[in-house]
Amino acid sequence: MRVRAIRGAVQLEQDSAAEMNSAVGELLLEMLAQNQIEVKDLISVVLTATPDLKSEFPAVAARKIGLGSVPLLCAVEVDVTGALPRVVRVLMHSHLDRDLEQIKHVYLRGASVLRKDLAQ
């Protein structure tokens, strides 16, 4: 079985705990579904948030959808002038026996503009 990394991002409408949980939960579930990944196959998940998101940790949303047993790490994204605001990015590591070209990276809501070359 190979180790693969799956990218994803979502833009929140506002900085609130409810929006963080909703948006990040939606993103993570979509990443799992599109890549047919089960929780038992996850190795770790790294979540970053732009500096303007301060109301909740993205990892809280991951725990709420059942990823509490998976190692999770939150960090602040680099504060680049002109960057898209209110974005959570995800780097998910999983045991996944697929070629790199078969990995489906997921960019939701306004974050779809970040990587048009990868967004599904």
- Is 107 a known active-site residue? yes
Q: Assign 3-class secondary structure to 40-71.
A: HHEEEEEEEECCCCCCCCHHHHHHHCCCCCCC
* Active-site pick, 4, 7, 56, 86: 7
Annotated catalytic residue: which of 19, 26, 30, 74? Answer: 74
Please name the helix (run of DSSP H) or strand (run of DSSP E) that holds residue 115, with its range, or none.
none
98 flagged as catalytic: no
Mark whether 74 is an active-site residue.
Answer: yes
Question: 109 catalytic, yes or no?
Answer: no
Candidates 89, 98, 101, 109; catalytic one:
89
* Active-site pick, 30, 63, 101, 109: 63
63 flagged as catalytic: yes
Rounded Cα gap, residues 65 and 53, in angstroms? 20
Closest C-alpha among 115, 102, 86 to residue 2? 102
- Cβ atoms 13, 19 nearer than 8 A: yes
Given 4, 56, 77, 86, the catalytic residue: 77
Write down the catalytic residue from 4, 56, 86, 107.
107
Cβ atoms of 88 and 58 within 8 Å: the answer is yes
Known catalytic residues are 7, 63, 74, 77, 89, 107, 115
